Structures are given as C-alpha cells and as structure tokens.
Chains A and B, each alone.
Chain A
Amino acid sequence: MELLLIPFVFALLALVVPSNMMRSFSLVGGLISLLATIAHVLNFDTSSFVSIFDPQVVNSIGLTCKLGYDGMSLFMVLLTSLITFLILLANYNRELSANKSFTSLLFFMQFGLIGVFTAFDGVLFYIFWELTLIPVFLIALWFGAPDRKKVLIKFFIYTFVGSLAMLLSIISIKAYAPSFSHADLMAVELTSKAAYWIFGGFFIAFAIKIPLFPFHTWQPKTYTVSPMAGTMLLSALMLKMALYGMIRWMIVLAPEALPEMTYPIIVLAVIGVVYAALIAIKQNDIKTLFAFASISHVGLIAAGAILWSHDNWSAVFIQMANHSLVAVGLFLAADIIEQRLGNRSLSHLGGIAKVAPKFAFMFGGIVLASISVPLSSGFIGEFMLLKGLFSYNALIGIIAGSTLVFGAAYTLRAYQLSMYGPATKHHFADLSWNEWLTFLILLIIIVVFGIYPQAIIDFVSPSIDQLLGSIK
C-alpha cells in the first residue's frame, strides 16, 4: 500500500512546504518512493502475486478495488518511480522545481501511474488511467510554451475520447462477468462479434495514447509545447500505460478478436514506424524530431505486444524500459540546448561539443542507446522484437527493420548538426551536477541492461508465462 501512499502523501505535502525547501523536498520524496519500490523488488518472488489492497467484497456495481502486483506490474512500478526520480533530478536546477503546484502534480502523476500498473480491477484501472491525464495536462498548461492552448485542448480531447471508448468496453464486458476483478473479466468467454467491439474500444484508447498511426496527430505538438518534465512524463511513462494496458487488459480480455485484429494493428504500427522516422529525418526543431522518433520506436513495441508470445512480451518490457530511459535522456538534452541557447532549431545550432565536452559525451551516449547499438539495452530489445515480427511475416519484418537505418539517420543527424560544425555561440555552460548525474544514472542503467538483459527477462518471465497460460 505504501507504494501508492508515499507519492500521494508527498503530493499533498508539496502544497504546504515553503518554496525555498521545495527542491530538496521533491528530491527526497522521489528518492523515498524509489527506495520503497526497490525494497518491494528485493523482497519479491518473481513467480508470485502480491496483493496490496483487497477488501474481499464486491459491491453491487461489481467494483472489487483489487490492487496488487506480479512481475510485470512491479517492473512498471519500478520504472515509474525511477523515472519520476530522474525527472525531479533533471529539473533540480530549473526554476520549475521550486514551484509547489508543479511538484505536487508530479507526485500526483506518480500516484496515478502506480495505480494504473497495480490495478487488478477494470474500473479501478480506468479511474487511475484518467487520473493521470489531469496532472500532465495541468503541468503542460501552466508551464508550457506560449502557444500551447489549442494543442493541449486537442491532446485532452483525443485522449479523453479514447478513454471513453475503453470505458464502453469495460462496461460491456462486465455485462458478462460477476465483478470487475481482472480474473473475472478474463474468465469471460466472448462471441467473436462482442470480442471485436470490446477489443476495439480498448484499442482506440491505447492507440491514441501510444500513439499509433493514424491516431498520432496530437503527439508531436503536445510534446513540443510541454515543458521538459511534461514531455518526459508523456513519453517516458504515460505511453507505457497503454503498452502495459495492451498486454494486461486488451489482449487477455478479448483474445477471441486476435486472429482478425493482429494483422491490421501490426500494419498500422509498422506504417507508424516508417512514416514517423521519415518525418523525423526532415525535422528542424530538435524536440519535435525526438517526438517523431518516439512514435517510430513505440510503433515497434506495440507491434511486439500484439504478437503475444513469451519472447515478444519479454522484449516489450526490455524495450519499454529502454525507451523510457532514452526518452528522458533525449528530452533532457533538447531542453539543455534550448535553455542555454534559447532556440532548438537545428539550423541555428552547431559546435556545442567544443564548448561543452561533458554534455557532448553524455548526449552521445544517449544517442547511441537510442539507435540501439550493441551493449545498450535497446539492442537486445529491438533485436528480439524484429525477430518476432520477421517470423510473423518476413516482409513486415524487413520493412520494420528499416527503423534501424532511419533511426540512426535522424538521431545522428540531430546530434551532428547540433554538436559539431562551426560553433554559433561560444558560451555554453556545461552540465550542472544534477544534469550530469541524471545522464550518468541513465547511461549506467542502459549499459547494465545492455550487457545483462536477462535480468529483466528473468524478472518478468514467470508472470508473462502465467498470463499467457491463462489466455483461452
């Protein structure tokens, strides 16, 4: 229970802490919840299910309020706490981190995310899912770029409408089940027609959040106008909810629809992979470029999630972790450039490596991780995902494989144009200690998992097997 309570309490405390102590307060808060999560991880037997809240009663509308975690959930909780801490750390020297509403919203977001990952009740999942929308929306609205209003209305409406479709699915499937608990909903046997509708409702919600082509139009601008922390939350954590939701809810609740739905979804995902990569190559704004890169990367993960098998799902988890770490790194780098130089357009940047060698090194490390070079965590994940796609359909596998080439092209282009060439400005303050530390933590984790990805696989495997085993 403390997994959820700690962020919630800190979210409330943040409103009363004096603003000169806010920075250290937020860092301590992030660290405490990270340590609490690690304590849970260390005491966790990977094949077990730990219940953190279960009132044992079903009320008349079928709500069971079950919260708990298995390997997959706990992995996502760990990722959430880690990334939240890194976001706080990365923001430490920014003006934003002294703001009490910002800090409170961030902890509130963490609370919602952990709720999403530990909910084992349909309605509770939906409630937490929607709860996460409010803080990230407010962070972007209050602290974002000047031209944000229209973009954010679009973002909110898109995701809200998607969620409504999911709500419809949850209500419909409940019509066949005694309660909303995950186990009861999973036990429902659907006719294939009903399964399409239920699967479809979930899919719309998840496709918008991930986002998959053609539901992605809200994403690049929203990422661009959000402040750094907002963009990190959106890309590193919020879209993971959708990928996790695909595995935990969509596929296992309505597997009857899979035979027909797999192909179209994979096609959409792969179109997204290539299409977003091509757009990214032409981008001038470095933040928008990373936004499109994100669409391209997560398309591949979504394709892996829909091809349900042990290997694919393990790869999905590796790649989710990798994408989160890389996204934090890339958006931090983009923000450092913007903060120091006042603009983000590649055509005005150049030569930063000469004046800021530490930054150049760290940014370079993240860039390499982003294009999945061997020894980075992305390598093994991407490799396994592509292998899965390839054995599903060789042509699709080849097309999706182009992401390796395109990914290298747009990421290295961004790196080269900003870091090398003639310097436009001779003054560029190198990394401050907190930025340096953020990058360092990111790179260490990336390399550790790049060398030993088996750690992640071992952690999530038993629960993946259990979930796969329970699919009819």
Chain B
Amino acid sequence: MNALIVIFITGLLSLFIAFAKKPLLVLITACAGLVTAAILLAQQWGLETPQSLFKYKGLLFDHNAIGYSLVAILFAFLAILAGYKSFKENEEHIGDYVALLLFSLVGAMCMVSYTDLFMFFLGLEILSIPIYVMAGTKKKDVRSSEASIKYFLTGAFATGVLLFGIAWLYGAVGSFDINVIGMKINLEASHSSLLYVGLLLILAAFLFKVGAAPFHFWSPDVYSGSPSIVTGYMAAVVKIGAFGAFIKLFTVCFPSLHEFWAPALAGLAILTMFVGNLSALSQITFKRLLAYSSITHVGYALLTILSTDGGSQFNLLFYLFAYGFSIISLITISMLLNDEEDKIEAFKGLGKRHPFLGFVAILALLSLAGVPPLVGFFGKYLVFAGAISEFPTLVVIAIINSGIGIYYYLKTIMTVVSKDDVSEAKIEVTGIQYFVLVVCALGLLLGGLFASHV
C-alpha cells in the first residue's frame, strides 16, 4: 500500500523536477521511487495478514498482488530506462512522460490488488488514461495520433461495457466486494439471468483489454502507431494489470459458474491463438509482428484463467514475467535501429553489426518461441502443465500453435543472423540501454530458475 503512494508521489515529483531542465534528475527520481516501492512491497511479503491502507479494505496486498505488482514495477522500471533516450529528444516533456507512465503503473497495481469492484474500475481508468495520452505523444506523426484516438475510443467503449457489466452484477448479487460476490454466487443454487449477462459483459471488456480475438482489432494499429517505448510498456505492464485483474475476478467471483463461461473462453482462446499466429505469418513491420505475436501469447495465457488448478495465478504471472523480458529487449533493440518504417528488414545482419544486440535479439525471439532453457519455455511449460489435465485438447491446439509460431520467429532470427548485404551504419548504444539489455538477457537466460512457487 505504501508502495502505491510512493509511486504516485514519485510521479508528481518528476513532473516538478522536470522544470529544472535536468532530464537525468527526472530519471533518477523515477528509478529511486520505483526501487523504494519495490523494497516496500517485498517487505510486506512476510507479513502475517496482508496490509491494507488505514481502514479501507478495497485494496489488499496479498502474496499474489505483491507478486504481480513487483513484476509490473520491474518492467515499468526497465521501460522507463529503455525509453530515456527517446524521452530526452523532447526535453520539455520528459517529466510528463515519466509521470504518465508512473501513474499508469499505479493503476496497474490497483488492478492487481483490488477487493472491491470500485477500486478495480478506478484502477482500470488510472491505468488506461495515461496510456491513451502516451500513445499519441508523437504529435506530428499521423499514425501515432491514429493510435491514440483508436485506443481511446475503443478503450472507452470497453470501459463502458465493463461498467455496464458491473452494474448488472450488482443487480444480481447486491455487492461490490468480490469475496462477498463469490460467496453469494457459490451459495445460491440458481442464479438470476442478470448475473449471466453481467458476467458476459465483464468477460468481453476483459478480452478487449488484454487484446484477445475477436476484440483484438485495435491492438496491431495501436502497437504499431504508438512510440516504441509505449508499445513495450503496453505489452509488458498493461497486460500484467489487465490479466492480474482478470484472473482475480474469475477465480474469486465466478469459480462456481466455471461450466458457464469456460466453454466460451476456451473457444475464444483457440480463436485468439490462431488469429494471432496466422496474421503474424506475413507481417513485414516489426511492431505489427509483435502485436500479432502478443495476441497469440494472450491466447496461451487464457489457458491459465480457464484452469481451476490452484497454481494458475502464479503460472499466469510467470508467463507474463517471461514475456515481458522478450518484449522489453526487442523494443529496446528496435528503438536502437531507429528505422522510420519499422521494417523487420532493419534487423538484417544485426548479429554482425553489433554482436551483443544480435545475441539479445536471438535470445528474446527464441524465448518467445519457447525454446528451452530460456525463460519463455518455462512460462509455456507452466501454462500447459497447469491446463493439461482439464483441457487436454486445448493444450494440444496450443502446442500446434507454438509450432506455427516458430516460423515467423525463425524468419526474424534468420534476418538477424544473416550475413549478406549488411548495412554499415553504426549503432550507438548508451550505457543505460546496455544496462536494460543485460538485465533482460539475464532474465531470459536465468529466469527459469524462478519457475517454482516460493
């Protein structure tokens, strides 16, 4: 809880520190705030009873919430560091950028720790609104503005649907507290149709937020139009918030309705995997490729929500943890390549131009494909192993999709290691970017060690 306040205040501070025209100072403040918040959270891990603020029970940092928050903070930290160079190009706005990202992180943390649907809704808004703004920060770029408006309109619509769903839910059970809702649904033998409608509306809103088919149409455009660092932030941090809230709501409130929503979600998970994969096969721009591949990964991640296995919250967190390292490192590298058109071709010969960047890019791609011993393999493994006893067919389909996915990852890897007509332009990597990439590489290589419950 204190961590939340620390991050919020850091956000405010960085707005004001920016007046000093010392970008580095803003960065240091932000990093210091994030590290403090992480330490505060980690200290709460050992507490007997989860901590809430004063007497307010709407936010509760239990072990899952702390885990999700820590991972979100980690990736926000890496994203801010990775984006520093591009923030600096617009020096007068650096405070705004950093603050917006931090505020959005506050929203993500609310979304993983809520126990009250009010707080959940507020968290969602706090998470989304800064990102709507951030998506449009390349003001002179038409595609960036398009991304911003598209994300805002569809996002606002989804929020409306969600609110509508919450209202129906309230109508059915008369409470906003998720534990009370879960208990009431569990006790009643027959449910009013209000509940089912509410559930479906909430499900649709969630699927929109995580970018699952058929609610995914915004994501390729928004991913490719937004400034790279915002894309990375959306893929890594926003997903953690959305998925954290999603799995919490469905495991706490609706487990007794599993038979009702599981078939629908299973169908959509299959659809999501195939839509993402098949669309990714022929992409030529890098961020669109990432967007479609992220849709596929959402499809895999949905398996954890389906499974009633006790470890599924952890499995989902680990999956997102694994995914984040790949995304952040690939986005950092693509920013370094600084290609206007964002072609995959820009990666050509990266292994030769800059062996370290090539190495990290290959690691990240292989990890996305799920090649052991990289962290992505363990993520996939946990997700599949958790679902295999209940949904064997779904796991088989997911495995088939991993097989399809290897094609476009491999094609990109081939581009990276290719040795013919390599561009000679030098790539300059700053110390901060090195740091981000080294952290990501270590995460990719050694992250698998964390693949067991603590």
C-alpha gap A168/B403 in the complex (Å): 12
Which residue of A60, A142, A167, A172 contacts B417 across the interface (Cβ within 8 Å)? A142
Interface pair B381/A123, CB less than 8 Å apart = yes
Given contacts A142-B419, A168-B395, contact A59 B452 (CB under 8 A): yes
C-alpha gap A156/B384 in the complex (Å): 22
Interface pair A60/B453, CB less than 8 Å apart = yes
Interface pair B399/A174, CB less than 8 Å apart = no
Cβ of A467 within 8 Å of any chain B Cβ, yes or no, is: no
Interface pair B414/A149, CB less than 8 Å apart = yes
Interface pair A153/B411, CB less than 8 Å apart = yes
Given contacts A141-B417, A142-B419, contact A160 B406 (CB under 8 A): yes
C-alpha gap A156/B405 in the complex (Å): 12
Which residue of B373, B381, B392, B403 contacts A172 across the interface (Cβ within 8 Å)? B392
- Residues 120-163 of chain A: 1 if any B CB is under 8 Å from the residue's CB, otherwise 0? 00010011001101100010011000000100110011001100
Chain A residue numbers with a CB within 8 Å of B419 are 142
B350 vs chain A, min Cβ distance (A): 14
A203 vs chain B, min Cβ distance (A): 15
Chain B residue numbers with a CB within 8 Å of A174 are 385
B381 vs chain A, min Cβ distance (A): 7
Interface pair B406/A172, CB less than 8 Å apart = no
Interface pair A138/B417, CB less than 8 Å apart = yes
* Residue among A127, A133, A161, A171 facing the most chain B CB atoms (10 A cut-off): A171
Given contacts A131-B372, A141-B417, contact A61 B406 (CB under 8 A): no
Cβ of A394 within 8 Å of any chain B Cβ, yes or no, is: no
Cβ of A63 within 8 Å of any chain B Cβ, yes or no, is: yes
Cβ of A165 within 8 Å of any chain B Cβ, yes or no, is: yes
Interface pair B372/A127, CB less than 8 Å apart = yes
B4 vs chain A, min Cβ distance (A): 29
Chain A residue nearest to B318 (CB atoms) is: A61
Chain B residue nearest to A126 (CB atoms) is: B372
C-alpha gap A131/B366 in the complex (Å): 11
Interface pair B388/A157, CB less than 8 Å apart = no
Interface pair B403/A141, CB less than 8 Å apart = no
- Residues 328-366 of chain A: 1 if any B CB is under 8 Å from the residue's CB, otherwise 0? 000000000000000000000000000000000000000
Given contacts A60-B452, A174-B385, contact A153 B372 (CB under 8 A): no
Chain A residue numbers with a CB within 8 Å of B17 are none
C-alpha gap A130/B373 in the complex (Å): 8
Chain B residue nearest to A146 (CB atoms) is: B420
Chain A residue numbers with a CB within 8 Å of B414 are 141, 149, 152-153
Majority DSSP secondary structure for residues of A touching B: helix
A401 vs chain B, min Cβ distance (A): 38
Cβ of B19 within 8 Å of any chain A Cβ, yes or no, is: no
Interface pair B385/A157, CB less than 8 Å apart = no
Chain B residue numbers with a CB within 8 Å of A138 are 417
Chain B residue nearest to A59 (CB atoms) is: B452
B357 vs chain A, min Cβ distance (A): 16
**B:349-393 near A, CB below 8 Å:** 366, 369, 371-373, 377, 381-382, 384-385, 388-389, 392
Given contacts A61-B382, A61-B385, contact A168 B399 (CB under 8 A): yes
Chain B residue numbers with a CB within 8 Å of A165 are 399
A56 vs chain B, min Cβ distance (A): 15
- Residues 305-328 of chain B: 1 if any A CB is under 8 Å from the residue's CB, otherwise 0? 000000100000000000000000
Chain A residue nearest to B378 (CB atoms) is: A61
C-alpha gap A189/B407 in the complex (Å): 37
Chain A residue nearest to B387 (CB atoms) is: A171
List the 8 closest A-B pairs by CB distance, nearest first: A127-B372, A59-B452, A60-B452, A161-B403, A60-B453, A127-B373, A130-B372, A164-B399
What are 29 residue pairs bridging A and B, where the CB atoms are less than 8 Å apart in the complex? A60-B311, A60-B452, A60-B453, A61-B452, A123-B381, A127-B373, A127-B377, A130-B377, A131-B373, A134-B366, A134-B371, A141-B414, A142-B419, A153-B410, A157-B407, A160-B369, A161-B403, A164-B399, A164-B402, A165-B399, A167-B381, A167-B399, A168-B396, A171-B384, A171-B385, A171-B395, A174-B385, A175-B388, A175-B389
User: Chain B residues in contact with chain A, CB under 8 A?
Assistant: 311, 366, 369, 371-373, 377, 381-382, 384-385, 388-389, 392, 395-396, 399, 402-403, 406-407, 410-411, 414, 417, 419, 451-453
User: Chain A residues in contact with chain B, CB under 8 A?
Assistant: 59-61, 63, 123, 126-127, 130-131, 133-134, 138, 141-142, 149, 152-153, 156-157, 160-161, 164-165, 167-168, 171-172, 174-175
